[in-house]
């Protein structure tokens, strides 16, 4: 299988590994391999760029990772950054307490963002810009992952205060059968949901209450289910539940292990790269606008997407300078009204879409489809996340739109990739089937995966990364393309069989102090000994909370950082996180706290 940039003549060099966060360095290398780039061995000096991109048509491009002033990169680990930037808090809403996901999640996201910025800078160079240096703040990448939750927690009106441990960690999806089998249910319509619970002899009033919680799990990362629903399922064997779900039109996906996913026939191809690309027709480049401040200035994107994965991809492209025109149905996207709202728009929706233009189009009508063809004539990218087969049904697939614009990148951000699974390809069904839910459950001591939309977010980042690679390939070879990415491809990258292991720690945990929580991650003997000096005693986890109760979290954090021990404050309330001065450089202010671009370019 040919990877996106395999035939492009690119090489890259890696920088020195981060001493405390080697999984990020490993993820950068894995992404380079997935893109098809040739790794060029070199002696990486301390302080060297994280990666350098080399090509005969480019001035050398280098990308550096930068820490925030009070969050030094050399003391950042996957664990402490998940604490510092609120990911532990969001995951903890449904898992009982602030805790890490137990996978190299922020390493995967920031590796993709580093490559995305680098590839975009290369596109900008080829279009006449003067971009040679890229900086990425991993803390900014981490905050992007929780952007919609941060918006909900900091809205000017009706802000949500959803703290870890407020809800019963056992009263949430996934569900459990009489044999103890864990499974996810999924439907995008309330009617099959109500039929299913009626068949289980649960009242319609309770089913309706459960539906509201079930529907909002994507937005709030909690989904407390009524006991009547949980008990009704727990009385029946899985086979009976499966039959009832099929009769009612509700999808059911049993949780699988990573090992089961690795044994699937489609896994080797998916693991090799999270994108599949087919070249389109040869195309004569149109007029170019040399980008001045951001590398994708002059690139126009049409986006027809719902929920998180596709809109986040479009949002990232706007942060790189692209003009994104969002196509919404007549009357606008229904998610615009999801509370909390500001100025008539959902703050969660606004967090992913406020930088875009909006055009309302009825894609079901001939006039609407003709309008899309006309818009594509001046576009560089068409991005959608419609149900499988819908683009062809509407005559808006790659072949159709290449007739309007041969140089178009037709990008599909889907769910299942090449896997044949009879269920909607949504975050939680893919978590269950891919093994991500089982891995997170094992690490968290919970029953299932995370209700944080981990794969929607990572899938959106992966989609945008692939689009940047496809734009670069087009600049070099002059043709459009068809690009597919998926939530399952993102999951396979996250749980990469060969390089997905978490770093081992001598002492790792979230501990109470006199006024809050402190995350500590001693990975080396030197760090463990330094912590012993800070505490004045051996850091026995059984007695550590009693010792840390002697001072504030801020005091302990300062002492740990001065001693070279990776540590961070673990805020439980995102509203408090939003005013943490350490994170101020990565945050902006709208009617809520927004997340700034993690990149800078020179």
Q: Quote the pTM value.
A: 0.96
| Residues 119 and 194: beta-carbon distance below 8 Å | no
Q: Averaged in consecutive runs of 10 residues, what is the pLDDT profile of the chain (602 residues)?
A: 84 87 92 94 80 94 92 92 97 94 96 98 96 96 97 95 92 96 96 97 96 95 96 98 98 97 95 93 77 96 96 98 97 93 94 97 94 94 94 94 94 95 96 97 90 97 98 93 97 83 84 95 94 91 88 95 96 96 95 97 96
| Residues 255 and 184: beta-carbon distance below 8 Å | yes
| Residues 464 and 313: beta-carbon distance below 8 Å | yes
| DSSP letters for 47-91 | T--SEEEE-TTS--EEEEE--BTTB-GGG--HHHHHHHTTHHHHH
Which of 21, 25, 142 is CA-nearest to residue 74? 21
Query: What is the model's pLDDT at position 42?
Result: 75
| Cα–Cα distance, 71 to 582 (Å, whole number) | 7
Query: What is the model's pLDDT at position 267?
Result: 95
Q: Phi and psi (nearest 5°) for 435?
A: 95, -10
Query: What is the model's pLDDT at position 237?
Result: 98
Q: What is the β-pairing status of strands 381-384 and 61-65? A: unpaired
Q: Exposure string (b/e) for 122-161, b if CB count within 10 Å is 16 or more? A: bbbbbbebebeebbbbbbbbbbbbbbbbbbbbbbeeeebe
| Cα–Cα distance, 379 to 349 (Å, whole number) | 24
Q: Phi and psi (nearest 5°) for 199?
A: -65, -30
Q: Determine how many CB atoms are found less than 10 A away from the CB of residue 519.
A: 27
Query: What is the model's pLDDT at position 452?
Result: 96
- Strand partners for 323: 300
In this structure, the dihedral spanned by the alpha carbons of residues 553, 558, 563 and 567, taken in order and rounded to 10 degrees, is: 50
| DSSP letters for 434-448 | HTHHHHHHHHHTSSS
| Residues 464 and 116: beta-carbon distance below 8 Å | yes
SS (H, E, C) 568-601: EECCCCHHHHCCCHHHHHHEEECCCEEECCCEEE
**Residue 128 backbone zone (phi > 0: left; psi -120 to 50: alpha; other: beta):** left
Query: What is the model's pLDDT at position 541?
Result: 82
| Residues 582 and 71: beta-carbon distance below 8 Å | yes
- What's the length of the chain? 602
Query: What is the model's pLDDT at position 500?
Result: 54
């Amino acid at each position: 299988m040919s990877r996106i940039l395999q035939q492009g003549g690119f090489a890259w060099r890696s920088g020195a590994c981060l001493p405390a966060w080697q999984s990020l360095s490993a993820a950068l290398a894995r992404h380079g391999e997935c893109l098809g780039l040739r790794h060029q061995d070199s002696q990486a000096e301390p302080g060297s760029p994280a990666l350098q991109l080399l090509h005969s048509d480019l001035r050398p491009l280098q990308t550096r990772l930068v820490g925030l002033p009070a969050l030094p990169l050399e003391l950042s680990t996957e664990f402490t950054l998940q604490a510092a930037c609120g990911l532990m808090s969001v995951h903890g809403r449904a898992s009982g307490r602030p805790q890490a996901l137990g996978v190299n999640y922020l390493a995967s996201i920031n590796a993709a963002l580093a490559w995305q910025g680098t590839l975009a800078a290369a596109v900008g160079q080829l279009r006449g810009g003067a971009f040679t240096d890229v900086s990425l703040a991993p803390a900014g990448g981490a905050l992007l992952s929780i952007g919609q939750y941060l918006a909900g927690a900091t809205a000017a009106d009706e802000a949500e205060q959803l703290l870890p441990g407020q809800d019963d960690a056992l009263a949430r999806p996934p569900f459990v059968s009489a044999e103890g089998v864990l499974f996810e249910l999924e439907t995008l319509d309330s009617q099959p949901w109500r039929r299913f619970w009626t068949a289980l002899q649960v009242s319609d009033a309770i089913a309706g209450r459960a539906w509201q919680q079930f529907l909002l799990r994507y937005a709030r990362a909690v989904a407390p289910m009524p006991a009547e629903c949980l008990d009704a399922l727990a009385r029946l064997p899985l086979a009976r539940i499966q039959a009832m779900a099929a009769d009612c039109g509700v999808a059911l996906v049993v949780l699988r292990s990573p090992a089961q996913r690795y044994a699937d026939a489609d896994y080797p191809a998916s693991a090799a790269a999270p994108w599949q690309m087919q070249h389109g027709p040869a195309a004569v480049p149109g007029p170019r606008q040399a980008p001045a401040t951001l590398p994708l200035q002059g690139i126009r994107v049409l986006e027809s997407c719902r929920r998180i994965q596709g809109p986040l991809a479009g949002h990232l492209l706007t942060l790189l300078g692209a003009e994104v025109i969002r196509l919404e149905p007549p009357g606008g996207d229904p998610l615009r009204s999801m509370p909390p709202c500001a100025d008539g728009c959902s703050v969660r929706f606004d967090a992913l879409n406020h930088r875009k233009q909006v055009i309302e189009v009825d894609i079901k009508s001939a006039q609407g489809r003709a309008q899309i063809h006309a818009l594509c004539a001046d576009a560089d990218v068409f991005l959608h996340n419609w149900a499988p087969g819908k683009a062809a049904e509407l005559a808006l697939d790659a072949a159709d739109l290449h007739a309007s614009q041969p140089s178009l990148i037709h990008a599909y951000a889907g769910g299942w990739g090449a896997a044949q699974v009879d269920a909607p390809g949504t975050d939680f069904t893919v978590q269950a089937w891919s093994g991500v839910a089982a891995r997170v459950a094992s690490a968290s001591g919970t029953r299932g995966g995370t209700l944080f939309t981990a794969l929607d977010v990572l899938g959106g980042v992966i989609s945008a990364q692939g689009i940047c690679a496809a734009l670069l390939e087009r600049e070099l070879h002059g043709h459009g393309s068809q690009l597919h990415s998926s939530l399952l491809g993102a999951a396979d990258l996250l749980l990469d069989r060969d390089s997905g292991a978490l770093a081992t720690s001598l002492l790792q945990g979230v501990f109470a102090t006199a006024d809050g929580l402190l995350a500590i991650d001693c990975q080396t003997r030197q760090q463990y000994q330094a912590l012993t000096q800070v505490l004045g005693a051996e850091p026995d986890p059984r007695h550590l909370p009693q010792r840390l109760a002697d001072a504030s979290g801020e005091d302990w954090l300062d002492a740990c950082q001065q001693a070279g021990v990776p540590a961070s404050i673990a805020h439980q309330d995102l509203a408090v996180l939003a005013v943490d001065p350490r994170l101020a450089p990565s945050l902006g202010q709208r009617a809520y706290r927004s997340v700034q671009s993690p990149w800078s370019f020179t």
